[in-house]
Homo-oligomer: A and B are copies of this chain.
Amino acid sequence: MTVVLKTSHHHGNLRAGLVEAGIEILESEGLDALSLRKCAARAGVSHAAPAHHFDGVAGLREAIATEGFQRFGAAMLREAAPEQDPRARLKAICRGYLAFAREAPALYRLMFSTGMRSQPDAHLAHGPSSAYGILREFCAPFVPEGTEPTVIETQVWALCHGYALFILHGIVPDSPALDTAVLDLVERIGAAPAS
C-alpha cells in the first residue's frame, strides 16, 4: 500500500505519506497511539523526519485533522446528493455527519480536539466546499431573514456533535431509535420558536 518509489532521501511526497500513515494508525490503534515516531516508522523514514514537515506533534495532528475535514465534508455531501427537499437535505448531512463519526471515530475525535485549537476556521470555514461551508449552505433555507445564520447552524451542529460523541463514548446506546429522535429534532430546529 502507498508505494512511494523513493531512492534514499528526497522521495515523493513524504508529508502526505506521513498524514496517511497517521490516519491508518488512528484507525487501527486509536487516538492515544498516534505519535510522530510511529508515523515515521510506518512511512519508512527515520524518527526525526516528520519534524521537517510538521511543527511538532501538534502540527501533525493539525495536518491529519485537515485531511479529516476533507473526508468529513465529502461524507456529508455524499449522503445529501440524492435528496431534493431542503428539509430532507438538512437531515441528510446530519446522517452523513453521524456516519462519518461512526466510520472513523478516532479521526473524528482528533478533528474536534486540541488539534485545531490554533486556527479552527482554517479547517472549517475556508471555502464553500469546507465542512462549515456545507453546513451553512444546507442551513440557509431555514434561517429567518434578519437573523444570524450562526444560531441555526450552531443548534444543528451542536446537537449532532454531542450525540456523536455520546455514541462514540458509549454514554448512550447506539440505536436507530435515538438516531431518528435526533434527526427529528434537527427537523424541528427550522420551525418557529416556542410560544
Q: Which residues of A contact B (CB under 8 A)?
A: 31-32, 112-114, 116-117, 120, 124, 148, 150-151, 154-155, 157-163, 165-166, 169-173, 177-178, 181-182, 184-185, 187-189, 191, 193-194
Contacts and interface: CB of A to CB of B under 8 A. Distances in A.
A154 B172 contact: yes
B193 A188 contact: yes
A154 B194 CA distance: 20
A162 B167 CA distance: 12
A166 B172 contact: no
B161 A178 contact: no
A32 B114 contact: yes
A181 B159 contact: no
A157 B166 contact: yes
A185 to B, nearest CB: 5
Give this chain's copy count. Answer: 2
A158 B182 contact: yes
A118 to B, nearest CB: 9
A162 B169 contact: no
Contacts of A178: 150-151, 154
Given A117-B169, A117-B170, A161-B165, 11 more contacts: A113-B169, A120-B171, A150-B172, A150-B173, A151-B181, A154-B182, A158-B160, A158-B166, A162-B163, A184-B193, A188-B188
Contacts of A165: 112, 161-162, 165
Taking each of A157, A161, A184, A187, which has the highest tally of chain B beta carbons within 10 Å of its own beta carbon? A161
Contact of A185 (B173, B177, B189): B189
A180 to B, nearest CB: 9
